[in-house]
Structure 1
Amino acid sequence: MPLAHVPGGLPADARRAVFDGRMPSAPGDLRIEGHGIEPVPESNRYGGAGRLFTVWFAPNLTMTGVFTGTIGISLGLDVTTALVAVVLGTVLGAVPTACLSTWGSRTGAGQLPLARLAFGRAVALPGVLQWLSSIAWDALIGLFGGDALARLCGWPFWLGVLAIMLAQGVLGVLGYEAIHRLQIVMTFVLAADFALLALRMSGSVHPATTGSVHGADRAGAFILTSTIALSLALSWAPYASDFSRYLPRDTSRSRMFWYTLLGLVVSFTAVQALGLWGASVLTDQTAAGVDTLLGGGAASAFGLLAVALAALCSNAMNDYSGSLALQTIGVRVPRPAAAALAVLLGFPLVLWMHAADTTARFQNVLLFVGYWIPGFVAIVAVDWLARRGAPVDLVAAAARPRSPWPPLVAFAVAFAAAVPFMDTGLYVGPVAHALHGADVSYYVAFAVALAVYAPLRAREGRQKREEGRA
């Protein structure tokens, strides 16, 4: 019985035709990956832990990260204080993602399919949220990539966005190995581009050495900046094992953890530091800021092309993981088609973000797409630890329905508890307001989900053991 089994659904062969399919067989196998949410068998595993560094490094070298860095300065912090906030938030957000990344080699499964262990059929809720989040990220990153390509080629904005999204759709359709191979190449290309950008900035841009906020307002701005940085790194958590599921079962888990952590922390810190440094010139029209900084000519062309390619790298991963999320919630669409669907839905969202106050809409979308993730991480982590390292039988788990109520209750309570602590342009919770804009909702959601779900999961485990002895 396959993992995708749904009682009363399609015959087994029809299900496997949708959720199973052709798998890459070795590094460099760039044929279309038809394989969906079925666990990858041990016979099809390949590669080493080192490829996790590049797959988590290159997609973060985007102007989205640079623009996020400017927010700390816009909130009134000086560059040193804002950088400390960025580093702190990035590390806190990257640790859960790195931990979850190690699950891929142990199970051969993607992150949302693995969440079925904790959520049972209630996995549809985080599955829908992840699918919608992947589309939102398409817009957040496609906004800058499309702008850069349009400026480089002299096209209208919408045409630059369309070209970027069509290209990322091709990568999302090709799948796992094509994405990994591209990230290896782009690690060097994008690192060179951002080094060039930093070199040009060193002689023409002066960072904000003094801030405009003090006392409690400064503390609030520090926490909000840290939370926004955390949201970037943590946003990859629901994707984490998607890009390690083809690694052999005996791959070193410690190496997987450290390669993932370093890829996330180094890349996110670097691009946000550039944003902090160049906040005075990197405004809403980030591509224009890059063009100006690089001084035109070949250097500007290279910089704009790299910005566009960075969006391509990152959004291909969004489309890939979004396709697995869509299958996880029970939509019987082949994985390549599901990846293409995300592109079609992301395009109008980019145009909407570009049509008005980009700064406000950017920050709102960035925060809202992540508020559900801390509760999700807490629930799947508790369930995983409760298994005490026992082998994970995904087939048996799919065939043995679990009560959806413990994870659903914990998930809902955690989100509700976090609402008063949220701070966005659309809504500022009363606690966040009292804390001078400090947004600690991510920490609250994680702690509450942990506190609610852990005893419920322990009770469920005791009941199963008693039933087994009966």
Structure 2
Amino acid sequence: MAEPSSVDSFEVERRTIDHIPETERHGKARNLFTIWFGSNIMLLTVATGTVATAVYGLPVWAALLSLVLGNVAGGVVMALHAAQGPQMGVPQMLQTRAQFGSFGSLLVVVLVVFMYVGFFASNMVLGGQAVASLFDAPETLSIVAIGLLSVAGAAVGYRLIHGLASIMSLVAGVTLALAFVWGLVVNGHPAGTLSAGEFTWLGFMGTLSLAALWQIAYAPYVSDYTRYMPRDTGVRPAFWATYGGAVLGSLFPMVLGALVGAAFPLADTVAGLGSFTSGIGTLVIAVFAVGIACTNSMNLYCGALSAITVGQTIFPRWVPRAGVRALVATVLFLSALVMALAGKDNFLVNFTNFMLLLLCVLVPWTAVNLVDYYAIRHGDYDIDSLFRRDGGVYGTYNPIAIACYFLGIAVQIPFLSTTLYTGPLAERIGGVDISWIVGLAVICPLYYLWMRRAGRLQVRTPVPVTEPALGGGEVA
């Protein structure tokens, strides 16, 4: 099928969580690069890099090394999910029913909705601060404005989000390059920027974990943006296009943030970035603020799909369309707005704690999902069963997956290290957080071996996909 034109990008997507038939598939692997590259160049990515030097107090060299390692490692986990979309043609959280069962998956899906709301709130705070600084507007009003723009993107849907990300890949990419030139060459960084800070394993591993989680946090919705891709897109092209776009698009803004944090450790992210790029600071902040609205559309869109997945599990005959997606997106926006206004005054610390705690609940899910897809089922799933209340061949609960999920959380708790809680084993190694590494190392082999012992490794013959309950209909 031909790729959509720019005019098609403004056509409201009528589908929500239903299977995408082959006749509606479009796009190429390069589209996966642009959506992840363009969507990551924004203020929240810069703020994540700022944490390394302004919060953890690392020297620039250590911050850069930990950011590279975290993005490279986390990007592998994230991009492995990309191939699932073209193969299955359904959203990521709907596919989770195949591992956990139709009702067993609800806990994970609800937690993922909370994650989307948290990211949306974080983005609204930074975007609102940026708009307020640019136009001398009230901060609360600016936060609301950023959120409403994102609601509009989520309401229109998939093609508009892909189109905006493609534009931002060019515009934000050029702006990012100019920010480095102005900060390092034209203005020259403040004296002591590159020599400031002190290396600690706590800061190094904390930064590495944040960077890895930045990538892993995309895992619950990578397939949402590949499910319209042709089935023959291929695992490797989907992986490398997603990996390259996500890692490069995240790493360079984080590096910029680390430099800003080292140069202006007492300033907030927006003010520090403006000072670092003095001369073009208004342009840089404006473009990165627009990037926030685009990325928040992605968060809200996927959050709406996940929330709809919960509803469809309970009411399997329900056929949600575009109108429902817009309504759910509005409700999630209002929830995120409350969270944003409550936590905006201590943003970086709140965001860091949120990310690290989020990692604890995401890691066991991604371990179960990837092992199931690549090592147990080899991408062979019965799509019709995913839409059945009784779970079809997957049942309502998979006790093995559920047990592995909770065990995955439990084994991480002693290794957690945040300002809210530090586990006993983390304290014994100097407060270094290696919880996510422990979680992956334990749950990946445990789930595989447990499923093998239960005799669930057989590859089944796929049932042809029909287009029943969730297969069509008009925009509503």
Q: TM-score range by the shorter chain?
A: 0.7 to 0.9
Q: Which amino acid aligns with 2:115?
A: S
2:240 to 228, 245, 258: 258
Q: Aligned with 2:300: secondary structure?
A: helix
1:234 to 216, 220, 233: 216
Q: Which amino acid aligns with 1:361?
A: N
Question: Residue 453 of structure 2 aligns with which residue?
Answer: 459
2:392 to 380, 394, 399: 399
Provide the rounded CA distance (Å) in 2 between the counterparts of 1:204 and 1:56. Answer: 30
For the pair 1:38 / 2:18, whether they are aligned, the reply is yes
Task: Give the superposed CA RMSD.
Answer: 2.2
**Does structure 1 retain, via aligned residues, the 8 Å contact 2:12–2:155?**
yes
For the pair 1:185 / 2:164, whether they are aligned, the reply is no
Provide the rounded CA distance (Å) in 1 between the counterparts of 2:3 and 2:31. Answer: 16
Provide the rounded CA distance (Å) in 2 between the counterparts of 1:294 and 1:208. Answer: 14
Question: Residue 424 of structure 2 aligns with which residue?
Answer: 430
Q: Which amino acid aligns with 1:47?
A: G
Provide the rounded CA distance (Å) in 2 between the counterparts of 1:248 and 1:464. Answer: 26
**Does structure 2 retain, via aligned residues, the 8 Å contact 1:25–1:44?**
no
Question: Residue 6 of structure 1 aligns with which residue?
Answer: none
**Does structure 2 retain, via aligned residues, the 8 Å contact 1:57–1:267?**
yes
**Does structure 2 retain, via aligned residues, the 8 Å contact 1:70–1:278?**
yes
Task: Map 1:53-202 to 2 at 5 A.
Answer: 53-73=33-53, 74-121=55-102, 122-202=104-184
Provide the rounded CA distance (Å) in 1 between the counterparts of 2:257 and 2:43. Answer: 9
Q: Tell me by how many angstroms 1:77 deviates.
A: 2.2
Question: Residue 336 of structure 1 aligns with which residue?
Answer: 326
**Does structure 2 retain, via aligned residues, the 8 Å contact 1:34–1:335?**
no
Task: Map 1:215-226 to 2 at 5 A.
Answer: 218-226=200-208
Q: Which amino acid aligns with 1:239?
A: Y
For the pair 1:372 / 2:386, whether they are aligned, the reply is no
TM-score when normalising by structure 1: 0.88
For the pair 1:315 / 2:296, whether they are aligned, the reply is yes
**Does structure 2 retain, via aligned residues, the 8 Å contact 1:72–1:276?**
yes
- Segments of 5+ residues of structure 1 without an aligned counterpart are 1-23, 466-470
Question: Residue 353 of structure 1 aligns with which residue?
Answer: 343
User: Residues 128-178 of structure 1: CA distance to partner in whole angstroms, max 9, x if unpaired?
Assistant: 011000000001122111111121122110111111000000001111100
Q: Tell me by how many angstroms 1:211 deviates.
A: 5.8
Q: Which amino acid aligns with 1:34?
A: R
Q: Tell me by how many angstroms 1:337 deviates.
A: 2.0
Provide the rounded CA distance (Å) in 1 between the counterparts of 2:196 and 2:425. Answer: 24
Provide the rounded CA distance (Å) in 2 between the counterparts of 1:314 and 1:337. Answer: 19
User: Residues 248-283 of structure 1: CA distance to partner in whole angstroms, max 9, x if unpaired?
Assistant: 001132111111111111111101111111213265
**Does structure 2 retain, via aligned residues, the 8 Å contact 1:66–1:275?**
yes
C-alpha change, 1:411 and 1:284, in structure 2 (3 Å) is farther
C-alpha change, 1:81 and 1:337, in structure 2 (3 Å) is same
**Does structure 2 retain, via aligned residues, the 8 Å contact 1:67–1:275?**
yes
Q: Tell me by how many angstroms 1:120 deviates.
A: 0.9
Question: Residue 8 of structure 1 aligns with which residue?
Answer: none
Provide the rounded CA distance (Å) in 1 between the counterparts of 2:268 and 2:361. Answer: 29
Q: Which amino acid aligns with 1:191?
A: G
C-alpha change, 1:128 and 1:307, in structure 2 (3 Å) is same
Q: Tell me by how many angstroms 1:302 deviates.
A: 1.8
User: Residues 299-337 of structure 1: CA distance to partner in whole angstroms, max 9, x if unpaired?
Assistant: 333222112101111111100111111122235662232
**Does structure 1 retain, via aligned residues, the 8 Å contact 2:377–2:457?**
no
Provide the rounded CA distance (Å) in 2 between the counterparts of 1:464 and 1:253. Answer: 21
Identity of matched residues, %:
29
Q: Aligned with 1:323: secondary structure?
A: helix
Q: Which amino acid aligns with 1:363?
A: T
Q: Which amino acid aligns with 1:84?
A: L
TM-score when normalising by structure 2: 0.87
Q: Tell me by how many angstroms 1:445 deviates.
A: 1.6
Provide the rounded CA distance (Å) in 1 between the counterparts of 2:52 and 2:14. Answer: 42
Provide the rounded CA distance (Å) in 2 between the counterparts of 1:315 and 1:182. Answer: 12
Provide the rounded CA distance (Å) in 2 between the counterparts of 1:421 and 1:463. Answer: 32
C-alpha change, 1:102 and 1:423, in structure 2 (3 Å) is same
For the pair 1:415 / 2:409, whether they are aligned, the reply is yes
Q: Which amino acid aligns with 2:42?
A: T
1:205 to 189, 196, 203: 189
Q: Which amino acid aligns with 1:123?
A: S
C-alpha change, 1:464 and 1:422, in structure 2 (3 Å) is same
Q: Aligned with 1:183: secondary structure?
A: helix
The number of equivalent residue pairs is: 437
Q: Tell me by how many angstroms 1:351 deviates.
A: 1.0
Q: Which amino acid aligns with 1:399?
A: G
Q: Which amino acid aligns with 1:424?
A: T
2:438 to 444, 451, 465: 444
**Does structure 1 retain, via aligned residues, the 8 Å contact 2:404–2:446?**
yes
Q: Aligned with 2:4: secondary structure?
A: coil
**Does structure 2 retain, via aligned residues, the 8 Å contact 1:34–1:336?**
no
Provide the rounded CA distance (Å) in 1 between the counterparts of 2:168 and 2:271. Answer: 22
User: Residues 18-73 of structure 1: CA distance to partner in whole angstroms, max 9, x if unpaired?
Assistant: xxxxxx98343222213111111111101111000111111111221212112222
Q: Which amino acid aligns with 1:337?
A: L
Q: Which amino acid aligns with 2:89?
A: G
Aligned structure 1 segments of 4 or more residues deviating by more than 6 angstroms: none
More displaced 10-residue stretch of structure 1: 174-183 or 324-333? 324-333
Q: Tell me by how many angstroms 1:364 deviates.
A: 1.0
1:291 to 266, 274, 280: 274
Q: Aligned with 1:250: secondary structure?
A: helix
Question: Residue 284 of structure 2 aligns with which residue?
Answer: 303
Question: Residue 383 of structure 1 aligns with which residue?
Answer: 372
Provide the rounded CA distance (Å) in 1 between the counterparts of 2:206 and 2:22. Answer: 44
